[in-house]
Amino acid sequence: MGIRITPSILNADLADLKHEIARIPSADLIHLDVMDNRFVPNLTFGLPMVESIRASTDQMLDIHLMIAEVDRWAPGYAEAGAESVTFHVEASDAPVRLARELRKLGSRASMALRPATPIEPYADLLPELDMILLMTVEPGFGGQSFLDVVLPKLRRTRALLDAHGGDIWLQVDGGISESTIERCVDAGADTFVAGSAVFSAADPDAMVRSLKAQAEAAGGR
């Protein structure tokens, strides 16, 4: 199982993102949290910022859209050159159509679920997706504590993905650190969003490498 670490810049210095992103060359993707103060009670940044980041780095961008009217706005992020675009199924009226449009535009299509949203009703959507993101905190703010009640859903999701076959990544987002990442690996995750753990470290890139090594060791047990 391939392991990927995708640091969230929500916990970085937003006034100097080019430098902050350059500090984590070992990151597999850069995770960008787009919030609109409607779907979640927080406001971050939108498409113009993502376009600016795209122009300043060659690292792969992993966009997490926590926004209302996601069917309308998500394709613009794929058009801007993001390698992966995640939409919340709770915000989408037409998730199959949206996933297909994202893929047509050259992006990986990813679907996110809040902690209380079950995976089972969406099992038939798996052929349309390249990644499933399970929130392990309530979306909206960085620095929250990991919700271990999501672990059973993570295991059920991994079972669905294994039964489906193919190469669909299983990402977790929220409270990921050295103390929680192994539990997520054991439950089946292979892609990890880490914000506070990375950017609060004295050496953010060393933390990225450490988390990846820890997850790879746990996956090899």
Tokens of 137: 């905190």
Catalytic residue flag (residue 205): no
Q: H or E element: which one contains 51? A: helix 47-56
* Cβ-based neighbour number of residue 214 at 10 Å: 18
Residue 128: exposure state from Cβ atoms within 10 A (0-12, 13-18, ≥19): middle
Query: How many CA atoms lie less than 13 Å away from 109 in the CB half-sphere?
Result: 21
The active-site residue out of 28, 36, 62, 173 is 173
**Cα–chain center distance at 79:** 19
Q: Is 124 a catalytic residue?
A: no
Q: Which element (helix H / strand E) includes 112?
A: strand 108-113
Catalytic residue among 28, 33, 36, 62, which?
33
Q: How far apart are CA 180 and CA 69, in angstroms?
A: 33
Q: Which residues are part of the catalytic machinery?
A: 33, 173
